[in-house]
Amino acid sequence: MEDDMVIEVAGSSNGEKTTTTSSLSSSEFDLENYINNYSGNTKINRLIFIAEHCKPLEAEAYQMAAKEVQKTPNYELYKTIVGKSHGILSLDSAWVDNMAKKNLAQLDKLDSDLNTAKANMVKDSIRLAQNELGEFYYKSGDYPNAMKSFVRTRDYCTTSKNILTMCFNIIKVGIENVNYSHVITYVTKAEQSPDLDNASRAKLNSCMGLANLHLSKYKPAAKKFIETPFEQANVFSDVLSQQDIAIYGGLCALATFDRSELKKKVIDDPTFKQFMELVPEVRELINDFYNSKYGSCLSYLDKLKPSLLLDVHLFEHVEVLYSKIRSKSLIQYFSPYVSVDLNVMATAFNTTVQSLEKEISKLIMDDSIQARIDSHNKRLYARKTDQRTSTFEKTIQVGNDFQNSTNNLLLRLEMLNNNITTTSGRNKNNNGMDFEKSQFLENFHPQHSHFFQSHGR
């Protein structure tokens, strides 16, 4: 019998971890097939994340992570993985010592190359030397020094392609270092380059979408992911895969787009359709939502949830996005009706009447649904607004605003005509009137007093 996958997520506001048991068995998650979509540091980071959050895949993930990290000079990360593996892995001390010596020698060589380039004062040589040094630091896991080296190339960029390369280098370090302010800054800078091709534009859109996702700006994130050209195929596999773009973009759009946007920008968009074909579950749940098949939509979401909680970028946002999607489903289900039987509605959403009442009560409190619940008869009634009274109230308010603005304007004109000036301070008299207005009325010529008697103060 296969073990259920256990996923640990930070499920409370105080940062404590809660353990959630998923119905997904280890055989249903093809780790090797999943991880082959990635390369570089993100491949290693994703394996470590899965090992830490999924007990049945822990051994396999740690072994794969250790194997991948041994292809890099990052021996410190290798020691960390072995230390976290709970005895699954044993430390290869010979490899660690050998790699430490190689790194020192490589660093000396790169520093020497940089000094030589600076002595020759050739801009392009200095830029290349700084790039090589930054790449070494990046692969070694020293992100602050990698960032410094890549930023220093800015003064030696002579073409727009050089600037684009610098931007991409800083962006990938920013993502690894979870510094999304740098990511946004340099994506914006790179977008101004005249040398952008579809592959570069795909990288920039996906990175900006990822930055917005981490900042919980779901609608801007959805727009960026949807605008990503399909040519992204493996050109940025050290950050995201095409499947990630389909999932992130689809869920963010479903949580934030209205029906017309969902139809035009997602369902009928020829480019994003290609991404959704890679993840049929996302395509089906979006179509079900648009076609008001909310039970089926939520069922697809429940099936996807265990694997989404193993995504290093998405896991913190799964609960929020799911809550937004479910709330939108409830609102759209009720919107065409004057009243709805809560028993029928509960069946449609695969829940109990008691749970449904709690959800709808929260939406009513948030003013998301204009309705009232009849708990005795288990019905939900739309709250009707008195259009006649509402129109009269708005008309009276507009009239009052117009009268006040006209009185103020006429008062100002009379003050100008009588050469009366005011100070900046606005003191009140005993009657609560502005001091300067009060003084003006007291000193105003008696022949004009009828104007204020008829128009009010």
Where in the chain are the domains?
337-382, 387-455
Helices (H), 85-159: 93-120, 123-140, 143-152
Helices (H), 177-308: 180-190, 198-214, 218-226, 242-256, 259-261, 270-276, 280-290, 294-308
Higher pLDDT residue, 392 or 17? Answer: 392
pLDDT tens per residue, range 178-200:
889 889 999 999 988 887 888 88
Q: Give the CA distances from residue 434 to residues 239, 428, 429, in Å, rounded to whole numbers and listed in that order.
A: 62, 5, 6
Q: Which range is least confidently modeled, 212-221, 357-366, 392-401?
A: 357-366
Distance between CA atoms of 337 and 154, rounded to whole angstroms? 60
Return the structure tokens found at 191.
């977008």
pLDDT tens per residue, range 233-272:
556 788 888 899 999 999 999 999 988 899 999 999 998 9
The CATH code that applies to domain 337-382 is: 1.10.10.10
Could you tell me which residues are beta bridge partners of residue 232? none
DSSP 22: E
pLDDT tens per residue, range 311-360:
999 999 999 999 899 888 888 888 777 888 888 888 888 788 888 888 88
Note the pLDDT of residue 232.
57
Range from 88-102, 384-398, 419-433 that averages highest in pLDDT: 88-102
Return the structure tokens found at 414.
């009379």
What percentage of the chain carries pLDDT values higher than 90? Answer: 42
Q: How confident is the model at residue 404 (pLDDT cuts 50, 70, 90)?
A: very high
Write down the pTM of the prediction: 0.75
Note the pLDDT of residue 355.
83
Note the pLDDT of residue 147.
93
Phi, psi dihedrals of residue 402, rounded to the nearest 5°: -65, -45
Note the pLDDT of residue 386.
57
Beta strands 371-374 and 379-382, pairing class: antiparallel
Note the pLDDT of residue 19.
43
10 Å Cβ neighbour count for 352?
13
Beta strands 4-10 and 17-25, pairing class: antiparallel
Return the structure tokens found at 181.
């302010």
Distance between CA atoms of 198 and 134, rounded to whole angstroms? 26
SS3 label, residue 243: helix
Distance between CA atoms of 334 and 359, rounded to whole angstroms? 13
Could you tell me which residues are beta bridge partners of residue 434? 428
Q: Cβ neighbours of residue 252 under 8 Å, at least 6 residues apart? A: 213, 218, 219, 221, 222, 225, 321
Q: Cβ neighbours of residue 7 under 8 Å, at least 6 residues apart? A: 19, 20, 21, 22, 53, 54, 306, 309, 310
pLDDT tens per residue, range 10-46:
443 333 444 443 334 556 788 888 999 898 889 999 9
pLDDT beyond 90 at 214? yes
Contact 82, 89 (CB under 8 A): yes
Note the pLDDT of residue 311.
92
Phi, psi dihedrals of residue 103, rounded to the nearest 5°: -65, -40
Note the pLDDT of residue 394.
86
Q: Give the CA distances from residue 174 to residues 38, 111, 168, 188, in Å, rounded to whole numbers and listed in that order.
A: 18, 23, 10, 14
SS3 label, residue 101: helix
Q: How confident is the model at residue 86 (pLDDT cuts 50, 70, 90)?
A: confident
Strand residues in 165-231 grouped as ranges (E): none
Q: How confident is the model at residue 146 (pLDDT cuts 50, 70, 90)?
A: very high
Note the pLDDT of residue 106.
94
